[in-house]
Structure 1
Amino acid sequence: MARFMFVTDLDNTLVGDDNALAELNDRLQRHRQEHGTKIVYATGRSPVLYRELQQEKNLMEPDALVLAVGTEIYLDGSDSPDSNWSETLSQGWDRNLVLSKTADFSELIPQPDSEQRPFKVSFFLKQEASVTVLPKLESELLQSNLNIKLIYSSGIDLDIVPRRSDKGQAVQFLRQKWKFVAEQTVVCGDSGNDIALFAVGNERGIIVGNARPELLQWHNENPANHRYLAQNACAGGIIEGLRHFGLIE
C-alpha cells in the first residue's frame, strides 16, 4: 500500500453518511500514519463555514485546506492563506470592478458576508434566470479585461473568481509542492464546482453515487478510465472508489 494524495469535497461528498464517514476517517488516519498519505479538503465553504462543519461532523484535521472554491489554500493547520497561491491569483483580478459590474444585475442576490472573500465574489442566482444572466454577465466582465471565470453549481450558487483559480488548479499546486504524480492522487466530488477537480489531469477520480445532474452530464460527455462512478453515496462511495483503484484494501 503506497502513499497517495486524497482530495475530497465536503458537502454531500465526504459528509452525508455519518457511519461511512467514521469508517473512512479511520482508514485514512491509519493510512496517513503508516504510509504518509496526505489529506486535502477542497470545498466552496469559507473558513467560517468550514469550521462550523468540522466541529459538527468531527472532521479530522487535513494536511491542507482548499477553501472558497479554490481561492484560498491553508497548509498544516495555518490560519493564514498560502501567500504563493494568493500571489498567483492576484494577477488581473480587480474585486471592486467585479462588484461594480455585477451591481447592474438585479437577479444576483449577494451571499452572506462570510462567503465574500478576497478572491471570490458570491451570489445566489436562480436556475431559471441563470440561462440568460450568465452569458451576459460573463461577456460584460470579460469586456472589462477582467481575468475571471464564473462557477455556477447546485442550481443556485454563483462564484466569480480569478481565471487561474479553482479546486483543480489548487490541487495541482499542492501536488507539485508535495511531489505526487497524477496516478498517486485521487479526487472526490458530487457537483458542478467539482468538475475542475476531475477535468484538470489524469488524477484518479471518484464521483459519489448521489452526484448532481450537472456533474453526471459532464462525466457522460467526457468519459475516462481513470474516473469511477460509485454506486454508494457520500463517504460510502469514496470507500468504494478507493477500493476500485486499489488504494485501500
Structure 2
Amino acid sequence: MERLHGSARLMVDHDDPDDISLLSFNALWESYYRHDSLLVFSTGRSPTSYKLLRNEKPLLTPDVAVMSVGTEIAYGEALVVDAGWEEYLNHKWDREIIVEETSKFPELTPQSEIDQRPHKVSFYVEEVKALAIIDVLAERLEKLGLDVNIIYSSGIALDVLPRGAGKGQALAYLMKKFALDGKLPANTLVCGDSGNDAELFSIPEVYGVMVCRLITSVMQRKNCCSGKNVSPRDIKDFQKCKVEIINPGHEVVKFYLFYERCCRAEVEMAGQHMQNLKSFFYSLGTFVHPSGIEQPIHQCIDAMESLNGDRQGKRFQVWVDQLSSAQIGSDTWLVKCKKWESYAEIALLRREALLSDNNPNVLKGTTTNG
C-alpha cells in the first residue's frame, strides 16, 4: 500500500467460481485500478482454505484479505496479521464456553476443523431450524456474559462470532484505520451475494453491487449501484481498445492477453495485427528471458507467430498481478508486474519489469523475467 499518496478507491471483491469472469476482472483491475486503489477480498474462508483457493483459481493478490467471516484481517502477499483487530475481538468472547453451549444443540453439525478459528465457531444447520436456534443460543450466551454475533448464510452455514466481528465491521475498522492515516478511501464499492455479505451494504457511504446469484437478505439492502466498465480481456479487437489517459500498464496487460490468444490460436497473426502490436512497443526495447538471454522486443513479438496455436484446444490462461508503474524520466515509465501462466492445472510465475515511453502508442525499454 506504499504506492498510495492519497485516498484510495477501495474495492471489495467477492470470489467468483467462473475463471473467465475472474480473468476478465483481473485484466480490468490491473489496467485501470491497481495504481490508485486497494483490492480487498472479504471471504468466509479460513486462511488455510483461502490459500487453497489461491492455488486453484487465478486470483489476484489483494492488498487486504478479510477472512473467516470478518474475524481475521491480513495485509499484502505475506498476509501480515492485524494484531489490533484480534485484540479488539477478545472483548466478552470466550470460545470454550461457546463450544460447550453449542454442543447442547444436536441440530448443529460442526464444520471442518480448518474452518474453526479463534474468533469463529462454525456449524451447518437446516434453514427451517436455524432461526429458532439462533434466538435461543443468543439468549443463553448473553446470560453467560458473552457478547456475540450469530450469522446465518447460504441457507446452511451458521457462524458464532464476537459482537464486533463480521465482514461489515471489518470493513468499518479498515476505513477508520485509513482515515486515521489521512487516507480515507474516496469511494468504496462492495460486492456480495450471501447472508454474511449483507452487512457490507450497511456501512455508511459504501456503494454496493449485487451479483446475479444473490439471496433475499442481500436484496433487502439499500444503496446499491449499477454500472459497468470494459475489461481489456473482453475486447476482441485491440485496435479498438484505447485509453484517453497515458497508461503503460494498460498496454502491458494487452500485450500478455495477445500472447495468450496467440498460443490458443484465437488471433490472426498476419498483417495488420502484428504491426499494430509492434506499434505499441519501442523497437529498441529488450526482452530478458529468465535464462538471461536478451531479445529485442520486436523480435520477441515476431516469435509469437511461431507460437500460434501452440496451446490450441488446451486450458491455457495468462494474467498479470501486482502491476505498478513509475515515471522515471520525462518520456519513460518503469512498469513492474508478476505474470502468471496456467496450463494443465499448473500455474507458473514470472516476474516482469518494463520500461515504457510516455507516448501512449509506444512502450520503450527493457522487459525482464525472473
TM-score category by the smaller chain?
A: 0.7 to 0.9
CA contact (8 A) 1:209 1:229 kept: no
Gaps of 5+ in 1: 240-249
1:228 aligns to 2:225 (yes or no): yes
* Larger strand fraction of residues: 2
SS at match of 1:19: helix
> Contact 2:9 / 2:185 at 8 angstroms: preserved in 1?
no
Residue in 1 that maps onto 2:96: 96
Structure 2 counterparts to residues 45-60 of structure 1, below 5 A: 45-60=45-60
**TM-score normalized by the length of structure 1:** 0.82
Larger radius of gyration: 2
Tell whether the 8 Å contact from 1:167 to 1:197 is kept in structure 2 after alignment: yes
CA deviation map 1:104-139 (0-9, x unaligned):
111011000000000000001111111321211111
Write the distance in 2 (CA, Å) between the matches of 1:123 and 1:230: 36
Give, as a single letter, the amino acid of the residue that structure 2 aligns with 1:117: R
- Equivalenced residues, count: 221
Instruction: Indicate the residue corresponding to 1:186 in structure 2.
Output: 189
Pairing partner for 1:4 from 1, 9, 26: 9
Taking structure 2 as the reference length, the TM-score comes to 0.56
SS of the aligned residue for 1:106 comes to: coil
- 1:5 CA displacement: 0.5
The separation in 2 between residues aligned to 1:143 and 1:228, in whole angstroms, is 41
Q: Could you tell me how far 1:53 is from its partner in structure 2?
A: 1.3
Partner AA of 1:4 in structure 2: R
More helix by share: 1
Report the 3-state secondary structure (helix = DSSP H, G, I; strand = E; otherwise coil) of the residue aligned with 2:225. Answer: strand
Change (3 A) 1:38 1:49: same
Q: Which residue of 2 aligns with 1:83?
A: 83
**Structure 1 stretch displaced more, 184-193 or 125-134:** 125-134
Q: Is the 8 A contact 2:154 2:194 kept in 1?
A: yes
Q: Which moved more, 1:167-176 or 1:57-66?
A: 167-176
User: 1:78 Cα deviation (Å)?
Assistant: 3.0
Q: 1:104 to 1:153 in 2, by over 3 A?
A: same
Structure with larger RCO (C-alpha < 8 A, sep 6+) = 1
Task: Give the corresponding residue for 1:244.
Answer: none
Q: CA deviation at 1:18?
A: 2.2
Cα shift at 1:181: 4.2
Equivalent residues in 2 for 1:82-161, closer than 5 Å:
82-161=82-161
Corresponding residue of 1:30? 31
**Aligned mates of 2:52, 2:111 — CA distance in 1:** 17
- The answer as to whether partners of 2:42 and 2:70 remain within 8 angstroms in 1 is yes
Aligned to 1:212: 215
